[in-house]
A and B are shown apart, each in its own frame.
Chain A
Amino acid sequence: MFDGLIDLINSPHWGNTLPFIRRGLALTLYITFVGVFFGFIIGALAGFARLSKNKIIYGVATVYIELIRGTPILVQALFLYFAISQSFGINFQAVTAGIIAIAVNAGAYIAEIVRGGVESIDKGQKEAGRSIGLSSSQTMRYIIWPQAFKRMIPPLGNQFIISLKDTSIFAIISVGEVTFLLRQYVSSTAVTFEPYVMLSLAYLVITIPAMLILRAIERRLDV
């Protein structure tokens, strides 16, 4: 029993997985940052579209948001990487497909965060802005958006963490992110325990500090 434990502690696989963790995590973080960055742009546009009085703009955004929120990201990634590339002859690199999938997926959730943030600001703020002669877009830019953005920070942080974890499903389309590399390690060595412990730790090393930072920001923002 103890021999087994000592063997496990002394196992060479802890150290041997490290280069894969490092390399995979770098790509995981890259896909997450770039994906969420574009997701924020898409989300802001779709969020404002949802606030639009124009029925067509509102309708397009609503369809996008509900389609994405109503299907699993795994299916979205498969659809993008296999179905779209085959049917339209567009050959995505796997990493590009991953970034697009994160951007499109996070964009739908961020759109609702943006809409909710803007709607949460008291309408008296808008009236006060308009009554001193600010235009509608100036009122948004100087009055509503700064207040709404502050309220959006905690849910945006959560979405970042969710998207980070979502990148793991890109192992299925052979994106060389951390889950993919560790699965390869498992299949070439037939060792399972150490690699998967290390894989879990790899995510936690990012997510736990991210959550702590987020909580600190929330306290400071007092939201």
Chain B
Amino acid sequence: MIKVTDLHKSFGDLEVLKGINAEVQEKEVVCVIGPSGSGKSTFLRCINRLEDITSGEVVIDGESLTDPKLNINKLRSQVGMVFQHFNLFPHKTVRENITLGPIKVKDMNQEEANKLATQLLEKVGLSDKADVYPASLSGGQKQRVAIARALAMSPKVMLFDEPTSALDPELVGDVLEVMKDLAKEGMTMIVVTHEMGFAREMGDRVIFMDEGKIMEEGTPSEIFDNPQNPRTQTFLSKVL
């Protein structure tokens, strides 16, 4: 589904990704963990080309991100992204946040889009919030709307960039529940996270990144119970 080959990314002189090779199968949930500054967010942002790729290749469902003929807008509409800081559109209601993409990118009509928004809000448990503006929502509610907004495009894969890091601890659970439901439905997911509980429970595979490289990857039990790389061991001893 997604194949990343020797991905390098530099910001000026600073090389943030130093040759990443990874593969994600359909319906797989891959959790990316690692210390801050390890390049895991940049890695995620390269997958829908919010960051331009310096060298290497990313192929999503047979389409290469570095192909000059690629329709990047179409590709992005098939790759859902959930941000740490939600990035909801503050001048639009919750419903409008969700329907904007389907209407403008997929030419869906208003009525159909509204129906879709109603379904998605039900799914994330916010049916009563359709007509409010994001400012009146809690962080956890905002993030669930952001997930609904991404799902409205019926993406083939969902990318989560530390979706719970900006939330008050008591609000993390609701967002993780929604993500677990998604995983159970068979959504392909790449989740950059500090929630080790989620990674262990829901991850099919866990990738540990440090200093712009993948240091170790494996099943949750391999990574959490029996890490081989000394850096993984050090990191986990600090966070667990």
Contact = CB atoms under 8 A, between A and B. Distances in A.
Interface of A: 122, 124-125, 127-135, 138, 142-143, 146-147, 150
B189 interface: no
A117 to B, nearest CB: 13
B87 A127 contact: yes
B91 A135 contact: no
Contact of A147 (B78, B90, B149, B153): B90
Nearest to B77: A133
B117 to A, nearest CB: 13
Given A130-B76, A133-B76, A133-B153, A150 B87 contact: no
Interface residues of B, number: 26
A197 B152 CA distance: 64
Contact of B76 (A124, A131, A142): A131
B105 A146 contact: no
Nearest to B90: A147
A124 B90 CA distance: 12
Contacts of B50: 127, 130-131
Q: Which 9 pairs show the lowest CB-CB distances between chains A and B?
A: A133-B77, A132-B101, A128-B87, A131-B81, A124-B87, A133-B105, A133-B76, A133-B73, A135-B73
Contacts of A138: 104-105
A146 B91 contact: yes
A53 B39 CA distance: 27
B120 interface: no
Nearest to B84: A124
Given A127-B50, A150-B91, A134 B73 contact: yes
Contacts of A142: 100, 104
Q: Does more than half of chain A's interface fall in helix, strand or loop, or is it mixed?
A: helix
Given A133-B73, A133-B101, A142-B100, 6 more contacts: A125-B89, A127-B83, A128-B81, A129-B89, A130-B50, A132-B100
Contacts of B104: 134, 138, 142
A135 B89 CA distance: 16
B143 interface: no
Interface in B150-181: 150, 152-153
Contacts of A128: 81, 83, 87-89, 146, 149
Contact of B105 (A127, A132, A150): A132
A144 to B, nearest CB: 10
B74 interface: yes
Interface string B70-82: 0001101111110
A140 to B, nearest CB: 12
B208 to A, nearest CB: 26
A138 B81 CA distance: 18
Contacts of A133: 73-74, 76-78, 101, 105, 153
A223 B152 CA distance: 31
12 contacts: A124-B87, A125-B89, A128-B83, A128-B146, A129-B89, A130-B73, A130-B76, A132-B77, A132-B100, A133-B73, A133-B76, A133-B78
B85 interface: yes
Contacts of B81: 127-128, 131
B118 interface: no
Most chain A beta-carbon neighbours within 10 Å: one of B85, B90, B152: B90
